[in-house]
Structure 1
Amino acid sequence: MDIRPIKTEHDYNAAIRRIEELWGARKDSPEGDELDLLVTLVEVYEMKHYPIAPPDPIDAIKFRMEQMGLTNSDMVKYLGSQSRVSEILNKRRKLTLGMIKSLYKGLKIPAEVLLA
């Protein structure tokens, strides 16, 4: 097992190929340990070189609404009046701190997403 840091795209591709070869290796075997290490190295490389931007706060709200089967009327208790809901969902008004707290507590939307 010759494991080194992943520094280049070539190193990254080689690590991915090796992971594919090792996929399904038995846990706590030398191959399983190698797989665990390589997956960790690849995750670190990907976080650094291919970061995923947080979603737009309004898109996150709409996604959660869809997941939970909520309508705009259901959002009144989190955002205020029906007109306020419309303004927020159409990006004509920004979320207030109170709205963010309410969405976080009521719909479990991460605060860091809503603050973006």
Structure 2
Amino acid sequence: MDELVDDYDRYLPLIEVLSVAIEKWESESPEFAEFNKAVSELDDGVSLLRVLMDQYQLKADDLKNEIGGRSLVSMILNGSRSLTIDHIKALSRRFGISPALFL
């Protein structure tokens, strides 16, 4: 695998064939059915928020200015509450990303 990455241009056709085959296997294999179902049911905004929190090593308390208290952030992360337009605007400003990414 390292060889494929190290000489990317040379192996690009092989990488493209492998990526299509792997994507097909992941989407059609019974082994991934439960995982794929769970992923399809995730809220995109909450998923993005989780990634941002992980990347920036943030805790719920760190988002009090954008969302509110720790309990509200926790409720949003566990799906019992939704991000509001105001939350999305504030998070977009904080992280310098488009609000559309949360929708």
Could you say which TM-score interval applies, normalised by the shorter chain? 0.5 to 0.7
8 Å CA contact retained: 1:60, 1:109: no
Q: Give the alignment partner of residue 88 of structure 1, picking from 71, 76, 87.
A: 76
RMSD: 2.4
- Where do 4+ consecutive residues of structure 1 move more than 4 Å? none
Q: Give the alignment partner of residue 51 of structure 2, picking from 56, 59, 63.
A: 63
Change (3 A) 1:62 1:109: farther
Percent pairwise identity: 31
Once the two structures are TM-superposed, the CA of residue 92 in structure 1 deviates from its matched residue by 0.8
8 Å CA contact retained: 1:61, 1:109: no
Once the two structures are TM-superposed, the CA of residue 109 in structure 1 deviates from its matched residue by 3.8
Instruction: Compare CA radii of gyration and give the structure with the larger one.
Output: 1
8 Å CA contact retained: 2:60, 2:69: no
Which residue number corresponds to residue 108 of structure 1? 96
Once the two structures are TM-superposed, the CA of residue 108 in structure 1 deviates from its matched residue by 2.6
Q: Give the alignment partner of residue 79 of structure 1, picking from 67, 70, 78.
A: 67
Structure whose residues are more often helix by fraction: 2
Q: Deviations over 1:6-50 (max 9, x none)?
A: xxxxxxxxxxxxxxxxx46xxxxxxxxxxxxxxxxxxxxxxxxxx
